[in-house]
Amino acid sequence: MKRKTYAAVGTGGRVPMFLDPIVDTYRADCELVGLCDPSEVRRTFHQKRLASEYGIAPVPTFSDFDQMMRETHPEIVIVCTPDALHHEYIVRALEAGADVISEKPLTIRADFYAKIAEAVRRTGKKVRTTFNMRWTPGIGKIRQLIADGTIGCVRHVDFEYYLNTSHGADYFRRWHSEKSVSGGLLLHKSTHHFDIINWWLDAIPAEVFAMGKLCFYGRENAIARGDGRFAEYPRYTGEPAAAEDPFAFDLNQSESTRDLYLNAEAETGYLRDRNVFRAGIDIEDSMSVMIRYRTGEIVNYSLNAYCPDEGFRASICGDRGRIEYTERHASHILTGDKEVQTDGDDYTMHVRVQRHFEKPVEFDVEKVSGGHGGGDALLQCQMFSSNPPVDATNRNAGHEQGAASLLIGAAANQSMQTGQPVRIEEMVSLRPDKQRLHELV
């Protein structure tokens, strides 16, 4: 059987999620033909790592994406660049005749999404959005309970996500702290959460209202809180004054952060360890969003990125009862290794279901090993196996389901700017004739 050919653009911390299964578990089905990144250091880091770990011939690397497409003709392109660039590479890959697997968020703006949708229509090619959270066991269990009608028709969801001072802080060191590059955390991070709410409800969002602010990270906040001593240096690596700083992140701490980021600084100027209490950060760290769906459900969502621990809590109210779901996570920071660095292994998933006039039932969902609660491995199987298990609960997401999530974040950004609610259909048209998420590609 001929193997499917893949190429990747953006070879930083996240890309092993895609490269390693292609050349290892699914090598009988897949072939990696090219790696593209403006940083020679980063692309050769992965080229050498894959050759030495899996004994494969060095994969050709490119700084020029179009040259890679001309010379290697991949059937599928993996887009793993900073978020604001996704749409550009998706469109160029589709135009060159490839299907696309894009990291989340699919893109960060409604007008960027319109370009993707138009290119899909024009080329007839496909785009997959990699929503790995859909594949985790606790989230799947909640979807099943709702779909089985355990609490009747869902009317309201209250969803609180909290990031800690390790993982949450990490977004404020990198490109994620620039709204023009990441869209802010309501795009970069909340796209996962908006997606699982969409998927749980099998619903399409219609209207969004949001408020947010930067109240913890950033220079002014540190000084106002009496933590000005942590704001006195621009970055952490090589900074003696940061020795006692609990937010310090030393790029010499591991071989991968040194080889992937520190050694590449002269090439691209990308600093991976900027001070989280510097001036100029323009994303929020504290956010509240209200969402109304086409089918009438209402959602109350919050995200705070400076909490002592990490996880989320969702309360789902139906007209026959209520589900409460709690996840606690060890936070993780991706450093370009295929193993994920965590600050503990306390991953728990707890469910409490109570139907009207009945006693509550409580249980823990069993842990599955592997990245993102085992979700990464199941998604890898769907992406790369020539014979994946049937996707009975519609976990695979195309570009329209990617849009249903990102457009909540884009609408929330607009709402925070104007102080007004935003109707998504006024930003971009997303199949106005459809009511349910599964009706979208």
Ligand X SMILES: NC(=O)c1ccc[n+]([C@@H]2O[C@H](COP(=O)([O-])OP(=O)(O)OC[C@H]3O[C@@H](n4cnc5c(N)ncnc54)[C@H](O)[C@@H]3O)[C@@H](O)[C@H]2O)c1
Residues that bind ligand X (CB under 6 A): 9-15, 37-39, 42, 80-83, 85, 103-104, 130, 132, 188, 268, 334, 372
Kindly report the length of the chain.
441
Q: Which is nearer to ligand X, 49 or 372 (CB)?
A: 372
| DSSP state letter for 438 | G
How near is the Cβ of 43 to ligand X at its closest, in Å? 8
Q: How far is the CB of 28 from ligand X (least distance, A)?
A: 25
Q: Is the peptide bond before 105 cis (omega within 30 degrees of 0)?
A: yes
In the bound state with ligand X, the residue whose beta carbon lies nearer, of 80 and 416, is 80
Nearest approach in angstroms of CB 102 to ligand X is: 8
Rg of the chain taking only CA atoms, in angstroms: 21
Q: Which residues 6+ apart lie within 8 Å of 321 measured at CB?
A: 150, 151, 152, 353, 354, 355, 356, 358
* Residue closer to ligand X, measured from CB, 11 or 405: 11
CB 129, min distance to ligand X, A: 10
**Residue 21 or residue 318: which is nearer to ligand X going by CB?**
21
Nearest to ligand X of 133, 222 (CB atom): 133
Instruction: Name the residue with the smallest CB distance to ligand X.
Output: 12
Query: Considering the complex, what minimum distance in angstroms separates the CB of residue 189 from ligand X?
Result: 9
Which stretch of DSSP H or E encloses residue 99?
Answer: strand 99-103
Q: Which is nearer to ligand X, 130 or 415 (CB)?
A: 130
Nearer to ligand X, 183 or 318 (CB): 183
Q: CA torsion, points 183, 186, 191, 194, in degrees to nearest 10?
A: -150
CB of 356 to ligand X, least distance (A): 37
Cα–Cα distance for residue pair 91/79, rounded to 1 Å: 11
One DSSP character per residue, 150-211 reads: TTSSEEEEEEEEEEETTHHHHTTTSGGGSHHHH--HHHHTHHHHHHHHHHHHT--EEEEEEE
SS3 326: strand
Cβ 333 to ligand X shortest distance, Å: 9
Asked if 181 and 84 count as a contact pair (C-beta separation under 8 A), the reply is yes
